């Protein structure tokens, strides 16, 4: 009986550690862009009508083809213990409130039954920093400056 009392806290701590580690690893996978085929299909279904009906400034992202619109889709996780996936839509360079409303209606209309909740964020502009080695003149790094970007609006659909 005494041995069970000593082992019980160890079992509880082990279960708690495994549970929180699993939640953390899932959020880490989500954070690193872990899109599967279903996520890609949802993004395509949402973004195709948005990018065909509206014009956006060209992206400043050096990792996409030149002329790509500054509108992106991905996934994000919310909540730590019970992570929930959201489809994330980020739009840059659309400051007009009526155009934002029209984009939101298009996103809302493009969602099908069974889609994940969607969060749409509008930003003033996309900010990227390129670091160049002064001695060689070569690019040594490119950073997306999320913290410097000014969010104009956010809307969620469940």
pLDDT in tens, 54-100: 999 999 988 889 999 999 999 887 666 666 788 999 999 999 999 99
Return per-residue pLDDT of the chain as tens, 158 residues: 555 566 566 665 565 555 555 545 555 545 555 678 888 999 999 999 999 999 999 999 888 899 999 999 998 876 666 667 889 999 999 999 999 999 999 999 998 888 999 999 999 999 988 888 889 988 888 888 888 999 999 999 98
Phi, psi of 60 (to 5 degrees): -95, 0
- The pLDDT score that the predictor gives to residue 23 is 46
Q: Where are the domains of the chain?
A: 33-157
- The pLDDT score that the predictor gives to residue 11 is 60
- The pLDDT score that the predictor gives to residue 103 is 97
**pTM of the predicted model as reported, rounded to 2 decimal places:** 0.74
């Amino acid at each position: 009986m005494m041995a069970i009392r000593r082992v019980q806290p160890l079992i509880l701590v082990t279960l708690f550690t495994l549970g929180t580690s699993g939640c953390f690893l899932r959020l880490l996978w989500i954070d690193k862009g872990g899109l599967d085929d279903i996520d890609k299909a949802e993004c395509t279904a949402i973004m195709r009508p948005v990018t065909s009906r509206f014009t956006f400034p060209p992206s400043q992202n050096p990792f996409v083809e030149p002329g790509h619109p500054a509108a992106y889709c991905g996934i994000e996780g919310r909540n730590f213990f019970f992570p929930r996936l959201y489809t994330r839509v980020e739009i840059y360079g659309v400051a007009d409130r009526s155009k934002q409303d029209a984009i939101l209606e298009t996103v809302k209309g493009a969602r099908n039954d069974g889609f994940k909740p969607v969060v749409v964020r509008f930003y003033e502009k996309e900010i990227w920093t390129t670091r160049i080695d002064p001695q060689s003149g070569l690019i040594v790094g490119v950073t997306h400056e999320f913290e410097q970007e000014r969010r104009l609006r956010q809307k969620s659909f469940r």
